[in-house]
C-alpha cells in the first residue's frame, strides 16, 4: 500500500486519499482498514464505541463481511475526532 497524500490537499490529492480509504474498506482486510486511522482513533458504529486500532481490527463491523461497507454508503463506522484522528465518513 502506498502512502496517502498529506496536507495541504489539492483536488486531485484529496480524491486520491478518499479512493485509498475506499479501497481499504473494500479489501475487507481489518488490518488494512485500521491503518487508515490513527492509533488512538475513537469510533462510533451505531451503539458500539471503539478505541484504538486493535478494537477496530477485532470489531465485527470491520472483521466480518457482514455489515462492512465502503464509507460512502453511510454504513461504515465514523471516526470521532480526538486530536489528530482521521474522519472518513
Q: Is residue 58 part of a domain?
A: yes
Compute the distance between CA of residue 56 and CA of residue 34 in angstroms, rounded to an integer: 6
Q: Is residue 8 part of a domain?
A: no
pLDDT at 68 > cutoff 50: no
Q: Which residues pair with 45 in a beta bridge?
A: 48
φ/ψ region of 20 (left if φ > 0, alpha if ψ in -120 to 50, else beta) reads alpha
> What is the domain range of residue 88?
29-89
18's enclosing H/E stretch is helix 11-27
80's enclosing H/E stretch is strand 78-80
- The answer to whether 52 touches 17, Cβ cutoff 8 Å, is no
Count of structural domains within the chain: 1
Q: Is residue 69 part of a domain?
A: yes
Reported as a single tens digit per residue, the pLDDT across 6-53 is 899 999 999 998 999 899 889 989 898 888 888 998 888 788 888 988
Reported as a single tens digit per residue, the pLDDT across 36-48 is 888 998 888 788 8
Give me the pLDDT at residue 50, please.
86
Q: Is residue 9 part of a domain?
A: no
Amino acid at each position: 500500500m502506498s502512502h496517502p497524500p498529506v496536507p495541504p490537499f489539492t483536488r486531485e490529492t484529496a480524491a486520491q486519499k478518499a479512493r485509498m480509504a475506499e479501497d481499504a474498506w473494500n479489501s475487507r482486510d481489518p488490518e488494512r482498514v485500521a491503518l487508515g486511522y490513527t492509533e488512538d482513533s475513537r469510533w462510533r458504529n451505531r451503539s458500539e464505541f471503539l478505541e484504538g486500532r486493535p478494537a477496530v481490527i477485532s470489531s465485527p463491523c470491520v472483521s466480518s463481511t457482514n455489515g462492512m461497507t465502503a464509507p460512502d454508503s453511510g454504513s461504515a463506522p465514523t471516526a470521532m475526532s480526538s486530536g489528530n484522528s482521521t474522519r472518513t465518513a
